[in-house]
Structure 1
């Protein structure tokens, strides 16, 4: 079955590629009717992909053939992070661009316009219909990572006094402009959100029934100032395709699941960036800029790593006396670092899921895990050294050092993000490279102290 689906996907890609080839030919031959007929057959996402892949000259022709409202549907599908909207807008006349922006869904238009410079923004707002301009200005005041910046005002709201039959008439009239019609929101005479009803319920209930009698009054709402990550969690928990945004009991907008998918992707990329100590959200093609973004973490880790180098330098006499000890330094530091990174990943995930565990309980769990992993890893390396080097005391020393180093790294990997979360700092900042470097330092200290103890009390007698 999987092979069939893969083949279908490849066929669809080939078909789209062939369609794109013909569409370009229609543009080059100035065949407007043939182009519009072929272009209308594409899904709006495929239209957007096709549009941004063209040269500026070919896009100019499309702009001449499409109305602003038609191009708005295409721009609603374009991800602001994938293209330079300044360049795309500069290809249109200011009046055309302003009209196109006004026809887009508000949340998408705000995403696009938030990256414009002040002069461009003021120009487009001045050329828009006053109502659209005021709406966009209101949205632009919200911080990027809040519900207010995500919400759309293209929702359907009806009065609670209507009958089901009357409500269906209003929904049909408003559906063309709405971003989604899965949920219809119910307002009282003062515009206060009092309930919600699904489109399915409107269809199922008799026309004579009152909306107020069948609506769901158990409302789950968010505020415009709520963090987007919290909104995403609520929608995932309740399996919503949309959620109302309410300020002072009045509905000011709605957030749809397509925006939340983007949020989840964005938040995951940010967390990965912090865990890796590198920015993967904003990818740079310029090697100099990219290097400058990565360098601060690496320089910081160099100085932290110098602590490890200093410890090793302090035990030079021990290594000179028993050179075999040097063989296992990287093995212990690497294993402890890996254990710490695993613990860090689990801790950050638990925090993201908002698990209701106390710090004490979480640490106890990680201590038990660290003990089990440490003992098993220690026994393993003990047996390897015993067979490989035929040295019982060396095997015990390295095995014991590895066990303790893994335990400490495990606890550090869990405790540091928990502590950071408690003091209000993003726990993902306790990145993998940071924990690994810290584990190197602690494991080297543990290793040489254990080795010194064994040399002083056993090997040198």
Structure 2
């Protein structure tokens, strides 16, 4: 990683030197020789005074490639576009792929969006308006309208002619979609078109078994379908099976990353995507969760205080509170992670089977941990009954924490919310509460045998 950062720094310095010395042709040649991803990185890192020169030298298509490859979630991209006059920015937007164009416009205030749309070509402006109207994190918001499609009544040579014309604008050319008056009826791979006779009918080589998604489908479900079928792109249709656009694999990779960040953020109860936040903003975002957990933690403290008499009679009990609550909390977090993953991959349908599986897993883990702690405490404190009390409490606490870690995200998902909000800290704190309750109630059963 350090090597890549050094290479980026060197490239930025080299291109800055070329601009500073007035070697415009050398700058253009060096910049355009970079990979598309590197172009975006370098352009964003150039000092503004050099970007002001660069966008004047580079073509609209090259600048469109730059903005197509800048991650709108990692870079404050709108000010980069605003460095150009609105007319030039509109031409760059026109040359971008519609899905990336829509993502960029959605980062702008409404007034600025209206300005750019009024300056763009009517066709491009209308396409991007439709994409902007789709809900965030749906298939419609991800799709691009640059795809290759032909009518099913053509011959192979006629279809190839159209493919060549459309390929210049298409984001991906691996698949050719076959239409009947805009209704999607099948798909052909580019290989099939290249390897079949020119006079063969397109209908004869069309695969009519179509795997598609609807515009309103959740992006996580779309990503799972693409991963299951190893597609390079997937068509998006309306309720009448009319082709609206396609989602390409690069967008799916982004979705998988976003969903992983969301799940991890939920499990950690903090937004891990915003790693460059200022200390103030970072603290402000963490405080509400910590306060909520503090309140729940106070309930645990109140519960412990209600057993003061028991602890005074057997002070040794206090030594094992954190041991039991900590271990049960870890077990609950493990079950939570598995439950969230099951839901994410759609493997939560067999509810009773998964419940039984978690119960058995919790039982095995609980017994193994309980036996271990029983042996340690019995030998350490020379008190078998004390070891038995702690061991039994540990076993039950882990079983309960395991079931809570499984059931809570499942119930949250059934209610229509993101199961990842059942975060690790929440489960841990809840496990503390139940573990303390279990521990002291079990201890009461054995109190007469180990009063200090």
Q: TM-score, with normalisation over the residues of structure 1?
A: 0.95
Structure-2 residue corresponding to 1:346:
338
Post-superposition offset of 1:422: 2.0
Does residue 1:412 correspond to 2:404, yes or no?
yes
Indicate how the Cα distance of structure 1 residues 15 and 364 shifts in structure 2: closer, same or farther if over 3 A, else same. Answer: closer
8 Å contact from structure 2 (residues 11, 42) kept in 1: no
1:322-341 matches, cutoff 5 A: 322-341=314-333
Indicate how the Cα distance of structure 1 residues 137 and 90 shifts in structure 2: closer, same or farther if over 3 A, else same. Answer: same
Q: Which stretch of structure 1 is more off in the superposition, 228-237 or 362-371?
A: 362-371
Does residue 1:139 correspond to 2:131, yes or no?
yes
Structure-2 residue corresponding to 1:317:
309
Does residue 1:449 correspond to 2:441, yes or no?
yes
Structure 2 distance, partners of 1:186, 1:371, is 55
Post-superposition offset of 1:365: 1.4
Residue correspondences, number: 451
1:252-271 matches, cutoff 5 A: 252-271=244-263
Structure 1 distance, partners of 2:305, 2:443, is 15
Structure 2 distance, partners of 1:30, 1:359, is 68
Post-superposition offset of 1:368: 1.2
3-state SS of 1:76 partner: helix
Structure-1 residue corresponding to 2:62:
70
Structure-2 residue corresponding to 1:376:
368
Post-superposition offset of 1:60: 0.6
Structure 2 distance, partners of 1:142, 1:92, is 28
Does residue 1:285 correspond to 2:309, yes or no?
no
Does residue 1:215 correspond to 2:206, yes or no?
yes
Structure 1 distance, partners of 2:7, 2:428, is 49
Post-superposition offset of 1:460: 5.6
Does residue 1:175 correspond to 2:175, yes or no?
no
Post-superposition offset of 1:148: 0.8
Does residue 1:115 correspond to 2:119, yes or no?
no
Indicate how the Cα distance of structure 1 residues 19 and 367 shifts in structure 2: closer, same or farther if over 3 A, else same. Answer: closer
Post-superposition offset of 1:291: 1.3
Structure 2 distance, partners of 1:123, 1:13, is 36
8 Å contact from structure 2 (residues 12, 45) kept in 1: no
Indicate how the Cα distance of structure 1 residues 358 and 19 shifts in structure 2: closer, same or farther if over 3 A, else same. Answer: closer
Does residue 1:422 correspond to 2:417, yes or no?
no
Does residue 1:229 correspond to 2:220, yes or no?
yes
Structure 2 distance, partners of 1:407, 1:319, is 24
Structure-2 residue corresponding to 1:194:
185
Does residue 1:28 correspond to 2:32, yes or no?
no
3-state SS of 1:195 partner: strand
Indicate how the Cα distance of structure 1 residues 52 and 460 shifts in structure 2: closer, same or farther if over 3 A, else same. Answer: closer
Gaps of 5+ in 2: none
Indicate how the Cα distance of structure 1 residues 32 and 430 shifts in structure 2: closer, same or farther if over 3 A, else same. Answer: same
8 Å contact from structure 1 (residues 336, 405) kept in 2: yes
Structure 2 distance, partners of 1:14, 1:416, is 46
Gaps of 5+ in 1: 1-5
8 Å contact from structure 1 (residues 80, 112) kept in 2: yes
Structure 1 distance, partners of 2:134, 2:260, is 22
Post-superposition offset of 1:55: 1.0
Structure-2 residue corresponding to 1:43:
35
3-state SS of 2:273 partner: coil
8 Å contact from structure 1 (residues 223, 245) kept in 2: yes
CA offsets per residue over residues 79-134 of structure 1, 9 Å max, x none? Answer: 00121122112210010001101110000000000011111111111111111111
Structure 2 distance, partners of 1:51, 1:102, is 19
3-state SS of 1:187 partner: strand
Indicate how the Cα distance of structure 1 residues 234 and 399 shifts in structure 2: closer, same or farther if over 3 A, else same. Answer: same
Indicate how the Cα distance of structure 1 residues 15 and 344 shifts in structure 2: closer, same or farther if over 3 A, else same. Answer: closer
Structure 1 distance, partners of 2:184, 2:25, is 47
Indicate how the Cα distance of structure 1 residues 54 and 15 shifts in structure 2: closer, same or farther if over 3 A, else same. Answer: closer
3-state SS of 1:185 partner: strand
8 Å contact from structure 1 (residues 19, 38) kept in 2: no
Post-superposition offset of 1:283: 3.9
Does residue 1:389 correspond to 2:377, yes or no?
no
3-state SS of 1:384 partner: helix
Indicate how the Cα distance of structure 1 residues 213 and 43 shifts in structure 2: closer, same or farther if over 3 A, else same. Answer: same
Structure 1 distance, partners of 2:153, 2:28, is 44
Post-superposition offset of 1:22: 2.4
Task: Identify the match of residue 142 of structure 2 among 145, 150, 156.
Answer: 150
Structure-2 residue corresponding to 1:3:
none
Q: Which stretch of structure 1 is more off in the superposition, 235-244 or 423-432?
A: 423-432
Task: Identify the match of residue 439 of structure 1 among 431, 445, 448.
Answer: 431
8 Å contact from structure 2 (residues 373, 387) kept in 1: yes
8 Å contact from structure 2 (residues 173, 190) kept in 1: yes
